[in-house]
Amino acid sequence: MRLVLSLVAALLATAAAEDCPDNFILIGFGCYSFPSFETTWDDANEYCKFMAPPGTIGGLAHIEDCTQHANLWKHIEAQPDGKVNYWIGGKDEEEEGTFRWVSTGFEIPSEVPFWYPHQPDGWTSENALSLSKTGYFADESESLLQKFICQLL
Ligand SMILES: [Ca+2]
Ligand SMILES: [Ca+2]
């Protein structure tokens, strides 16, 4: 029985690893990539589109439920120097104070459970969404140079 279980576990692990293309890793149910350089929000989003393999669509990551938020942060915390600010795919430039995922247009709920206390606080000078080194969301100026998280959408 134990042998069967470990065979099943090995098969599942292989299947999971094959679910994401090169340069992407499976975290929870999504394929993510963590490029090593820092750039502006717009350039980060363009890079995520550019690095997606043919036949797939890439963009900055969107985090739409608590489980995925926790999965991603657990992965980040486990990396050496992982706890920094990362651009993710939300903006509030169309309607100040209402952040939306640019990939889907869905509104990002405010306050608990995603946002750091008292964020967003930058009004019209901060219109881009960051998964900050606190593990929670914050608004930042989109021209800041930060690391970023890409996702296959
Ligand atoms: Ca804003
Ligand atoms: Ca802020």
Alpha carbon distance 48, 142 (integer Å): 16
Using the mean position of ligand 2's atoms as its centre, give its distance from the Cα of residue 71 in Å.
23
Confidence of residue 15 (pLDDT cuts 50, 70, 90): very low
Confidence of residue 14 (pLDDT cuts 50, 70, 90): very low
The number of the ligand nearest the C-alpha atom of 121 reads: 2
- What CATH number is given to the structural domain containing 98? 3.10.100.10
Q: How many residues are recorded in the chain?
A: 153
Q: What is the pLDDT of residue 13?
A: 47
The number of the ligand nearest the C-alpha atom of 139 reads: 2
Look at the chain and report how many structural domains it folds into: 1
pTM of the predicted structure, to 2 decimals: 0.87
**Residue-number span of the structural domain to which 138 is assigned:** 2-152
Using the mean position of ligand 1's atoms as its centre, give its distance from the Cα of residue 51 in Å.
28
Is the pLDDT at 10 greater than 50? The verdict is no
Using the mean position of ligand 1's atoms as its centre, give its distance from the Cα of residue 126 in Å.
5
Q: Which are the contacts of 133, defined by CB distance < 8 A and separation ≥ 6?
A: 83, 84, 85
The number of the ligand nearest the C-alpha atom of 126 reads: 1
Task: Return the H-helix or E-strand segment holding 77.
Answer: helix 66-77
Q: What does the pLDDT look like over 24-81, one tens digit per residue?
A: 999 998 999 999 999 999 999 999 999 999 999 999 999 999 999 999 999 999 999 9
Q: What is the pLDDT of residue 19?
A: 86
121 alpha-carbon distance from chain centroid:
21
Q: Angle CA(146)–CA(121)–CA(34) in degrees, nearest 5?
A: 20
Output b/e per residue, 33-68; b: 16+ Cβ within 10 A: bbeeebbbbebbbebbeebbeeeeebbbbbbeeeeb
Average pLDDT (80-95) is 96
